[in-house]
Amino acid sequence: MKEIISGGEALLRSLKNEGVDTIFGYPGGSIMPVFDAMYDHRDDFHQVVVRHEQGAVHAAQGYARSSGKVGVCIVTSGPGATNTLTGISDAILDSTPVVVIAGQVSSAVLGTDAFQEIDLVGVTQPISKWSYQIRRAEDVAWAVSRAFYIARSGRPGPVVLDFTKNAQVAQIAYEPVTVDYVRSYVPYPKPNMDAIKEAAELINRARRPFALVGQGVELGEAHEELKAFLEKANIPAARTLLGLSALPSDYPLNVGMLGMHGNLSCNVNTNQCDVLIAIGMRFSDRVTGNLATYAKQAKVIHLDIDRVEIDKNVKADIPVIGNCKETLPLITELLQPADHKEWIDSFADYDAVEYEKVIAKALNPGKGPLKMGEVARKVSEASNNSAVLVTDVGQNQMLSCRYFKYTKPHSVLTSGGLGTMGYGLPAAIGATMGVPERTVCVFMGDGGFQMNIQELGTIMEQKSPVKMILLNNNYLGNVRQWQELFFNNRYSCTPMLNADYCMIAKAYGIPSRLVVDRSEIDDAIKEMLETPGAFLLHVAVEEEDNVMPMVPPGASICDMIFE
């Protein structure tokens, strides 16, 4: 005889059936039956109460991207649900598997503007892989399993379940459900062998092949397959922002980072190569610059699991649809060993120019205020280049991503597509729970830190060992940089009057240290890394330091400026 339980209990049993071990959330009236049921599941789930629902989704993202699992958050209706929209939007653009479960008013009063009612399905359909309202307790097990199947399969992304209160309290005979098929949804397209052969033949004829590596390699766990592909034909590879840790920093064929604040050699040689091989990346405008001048000389091979990305921004001569973990080995098998030494050596000439004009000054300024880049490199090296780098958005993001070093996969958690200020702190909390064995370092600016500063309360309660590096330049730095370069130094609304962040950290029981002088930075980083638990390293950095090199808006990707 099947056990009779409530819809809320059925939800939790279904989550457990999906392997969920951590839930981020915030209680409220319309989701109270679920939180009441959670009281009896304290041993089944690590239940993390954040301080704001946006923080719940970002924490679930950090958990998901660091661990490879699906992140889960549970919130109430109305403002609780709408507070998750930024995180859901971030997750769809960065292909992060999260399941957001929100309470909803009872079915009987839907559409009456009941207290804290909002059409969450209507609001989230454009920003999620699937959005569904559960109106009957009998549908809970099916809806949860379908949600997880959609969130984690194919190109990952967010799924939203809108859970009416009557469905939470109704009694049902519970039976687990496993969904592994959805009609018309093909998460893993079968590779087209003709396209595979054409791609291999084109690469075999290439004199200057160039691989652009995106987050799809990380999502597909295709790290070794990528290396085998590159090594067989000796192909240089550059990474996108979200694909930075798809290859170790010291990997011989890794030539740097692409994009607006990427490496000069990678951007220039994008417009010099004869075959461009895009692997699990979407040709973002931050990577391509002006599309009218982007890689017009090259034949383009585009490997992606999502056919929507093919020809969306850059026309592919040979599209290869499928999971790159499957398609890369098929191409590799048909490749002929090659040298390409002269082509690879050409990157070094541009690297020398960038080092002299930018990198040497960023890492070894010698005197004057501390620079963001040197702090990032010092933290990376002090953590044996093996920490998880989490960033907020802005100059702190670009400079820490540029100068951190990576030795392990899944080591960069940053908001790429949406550019969400406030992402860093809660995402770092989630990462400490997704990979508790790793050191998690989050770099933030004074602007982004304050966007979700309330999550210091979550760190305090959960004892999350987040190593926080606050790069404080007393500006909204990235906007100020654009104002300096393109708006005649008119610093409109970008100067920041800041609080005493060490005092704030102290109020939450978090140790901290303020560093102003370069002579203190090494010792302060050592103290941060050796202190058990959380730590706030508050670093006063050069106020008008800029992220260079840079592709100006509307310019060709190879027309980078250095000052």
Q: Per the domain annotation, does 558 fall within a domain?
A: no
Region of residue 538 (phi > 0: left; psi between -120 and 50: alpha; otherwise: beta): beta
- End residue of a domain, out of 144, 174, 204: 174
Please say if the pLDDT value at position 541 is more than 70. yes
- Digit-coded pLDDT (tens) for 175-229: 999 999 999 999 999 999 999 999 999 999 999 999 999 999 999 999 999 999 9
Number of domains making up the chain: 3
What is the mean pLDDT of the segment spanning 50-64?
A: 98
| CA 121/CA 132 separation, integer angstroms | 6
Q: Per the domain annotation, does 275 fall within a domain?
A: yes
Say how many residues make up the chain.
563
User: Shortest CA distance to 125 belongs to which of 94, 78, 154, 162?
Assistant: 162
Please name the residue ranges forming H helices in 234-354. 264-270, 285-288, 324-334, 341-354
Looking at the fold, whether 24 and 160 belong to one and the same domain comes out as yes
Fill in the amino acid letter for 177: V
- End residue of a domain, out of 312, 345, 378: 345
pTM, two decimals, is 0.97
Looking at the fold, whether 153 and 113 belong to one and the same domain comes out as yes
Instruction: Tell me the residue range of the domain where 137 lies.
Output: 3-174
Question: What pLDDT sits at residue 1?
Answer: 63
Chain centroid, CA 118 distance in Å: 28
Question: What pLDDT sits at residue 418?
Answer: 97
Contact assessment for residue 309 and residue 302, using Cβ atoms and an 8 Å cutoff? yes
- Digit-coded pLDDT (tens) for 469-510: 999 999 999 999 999 999 999 999 999 999 999 999 999 999
Looking at the fold, whether 123 and 262 belong to one and the same domain comes out as no
Looking at the fold, whether 340 and 378 belong to one and the same domain comes out as no
- Digit-coded pLDDT (tens) for 108-153: 999 999 999 999 999 999 999 999 999 999 999 999 999 999 999 9
Q: Per the domain annotation, does 550 fall within a domain?
A: no
Question: What pLDDT sits at residue 366?
Answer: 86
Mean pLDDT of the chain: 97
Looking at the fold, whether 85 and 201 belong to one and the same domain comes out as no
Count the Cβ atoms, other than its own, within 10 Å of residue 171: 12
Question: What pLDDT sits at residue 488?
Answer: 97
Report the DSSP pairing between strands 130-134 and 158-164.
parallel
Looking at the fold, whether 16 and 162 belong to one and the same domain comes out as yes
| CA 458/CA 432 separation, integer angstroms | 12
Looking at the fold, whether 161 and 233 belong to one and the same domain comes out as no
Looking at the fold, whether 445 and 332 belong to one and the same domain comes out as no
Please say if the pLDDT value at position 86 is more than 90. yes
Q: Per the domain annotation, does 188 fall within a domain?
A: no
Q: Output the CA–CA distances (angstroms, integers) from residue 536 to 247, 405, 504, in the order listed.
A: 29, 21, 10
Reading the block at residue 493, the tokens are 């609304």
Looking at the fold, whether 295 and 393 belong to one and the same domain comes out as no
Q: Per the domain annotation, does 354 fall within a domain?
A: no
Looking at the fold, whether 340 and 251 belong to one and the same domain comes out as yes
Looking at the fold, whether 169 and 202 belong to one and the same domain comes out as no
Looking at the fold, whether 386 and 496 belong to one and the same domain comes out as yes
